[in-house]
Amino acid sequence: MYELDTGSYRKVTHLFENVPINTWFAQAVINGVANGQVFVDNLLNPEVVYIIHNYGMSLILGDSTNTGFNQFLIEYWSKARRSHNEFLQAYPESWDKIIPTLLTNDLLIEGVDSAEKIIQAKNVLHTRVNFSFNPKKYSQLRTKVNLDDYDIREFGIDDFANYSGSVVPNLFWRDADTFRKNGKAYAVYVKGELASVAFSSCQNDEILELGIETNPDFRGCGLAKIACIRLIDYALDCGLTPIWACRKGNLGSYKLAESIGFVVDCELAYYQLKM
């Protein structure tokens, strides 16, 4: 199998055609606005691709019966020395029968196996939820929120490198300049302290996918919702479709999505390959 250099990433764009699930994070790697790795079965005419985003999310697209590529996955995953967990999605659905057979360790299932076993497991099957944006639902809730009641500021380039957390802009964009040119973020402050940041984890001429990080000291205060509303307003003003996706077990993210105009579109297998 082969790892593509960045100049060859466009060779796999055809594999994204007619794929109904959210693949924006992987497309960000292909388009050069996010860092990652791209592996293919064939350098000239790829029929299957494995894209790893530096944040830790990954995607497999293409032929699930390609035995050579599947053998590469067995070897790659068995030898992987990850600095963080990997969360894998795959399309088409035929991969869901193949992937468990390629893993060295057993695959446990969130919600079926005990929490203790899940903690100890090397591989865990979760469910990922893709949401779609409902403009009518959003407009109804938007009339009940006055953003002037909050200290909301644009999240600047100086904040890009200095803001730390598990879901922050510098984990999703190649560098600060790329984020400045292609992304957007708004922060809610409380008495001068940064409380919550909503940012575009992916953004292009069509969509803006939201990411959110809240200071632990301000969780439960509803400020993530306020930051997201400001960013959604920006997206709509620019003619962009807001996008949301999360792990089904992440109840905070799931409920937040529902509270700001998103509705469940589809669910898919989401494989956690631990460090």
Taking only Cα atoms into account, the Rg of the chain, rounded to an integer number of angstroms, comes to 19
Computed over every residue of the chain, the mean pLDDT equals: 96
Cα dihedral 62, 66, 70, 73 sign: negative
96 and 135 belong to one structural domain: no
Q: What is the DSSP letter of 12?
A: G
The pLDDT tens digits of the residues spanning 139-173 come to 999 999 999 999 999 987 777 777 777 888 899 99
71 and 149 belong to one structural domain: no
Would you state the pLDDT for residue 83?
84
Considering the chain, what percentage of its residues have pLDDT values greater than 90? Answer: 90
Mean pLDDT over residues 111-124, rounded? Answer: 94
pLDDT over 80 (residue 6)? yes
Q: Alpha-carbon distance 173 to 178, whole Å?
A: 7
Q: How confident is the model at residue 223 (pLDDT cuts 50, 70, 90)?
A: very high
Of 104, 138, 160, which one is at a domain's C-terminal end? 104
Q: Alpha-carbon distance 194 to 151, whole Å?
A: 10
Q: What is the largest CA-CA distance in the chain?
A: 58
Q: Which domain holds residue 95?
A: 2-104
77 and 179 belong to one structural domain: no
CB 25 within 8 A of CB 55: yes
Would you state the pLDDT for residue 202?
97
Whether 109 is covered by a domain: the verdict is no
Check which CATH number belongs to the domain holding 36 and give it.
Answer: 3.40.630.110
pLDDT over 80 (residue 53)? yes
135 and 220 belong to one structural domain: yes
Residue that is written with structure tokens 């005419």 in the block: 45
Q: What is the DSSP letter of 168?
A: -
Would you state the pLDDT for residue 255?
98
Whether 198 is covered by a domain: the verdict is yes
Check which CATH number belongs to the domain holding 209 and give it.
Answer: 3.40.630.30
pTM of the model: 0.94
155 and 259 belong to one structural domain: yes
**Total structural domains in the chain?**
2
96 and 156 belong to one structural domain: no
94 and 165 belong to one structural domain: no
Whether 110 is covered by a domain: the verdict is no
175 and 94 belong to one structural domain: no
88 and 146 belong to one structural domain: no
Q: Alpha-carbon distance 193 to 218, whole Å?
A: 10
What are the tokens at 259? 């509270």
Whether 257 is covered by a domain: the verdict is yes
140 and 261 belong to one structural domain: yes
223 and 137 belong to one structural domain: yes
Q: Alpha-carbon distance 23 to 87, whole Å?
A: 13
What are the tokens at 71? 């053998």
Q: Alpha-carbon distance 3 to 11, whole Å?
A: 12
Adjacent-strand bridge partners of 84:
none
The pLDDT tens digits of the residues spanning 58-96 come to 999 999 999 999 999 999 999 888 888 999 999 999 999
What are the tokens at 191? 């008495």
98 and 209 belong to one structural domain: no
Of 69, 104, 139, which one is at a domain's C-terminal end? 104
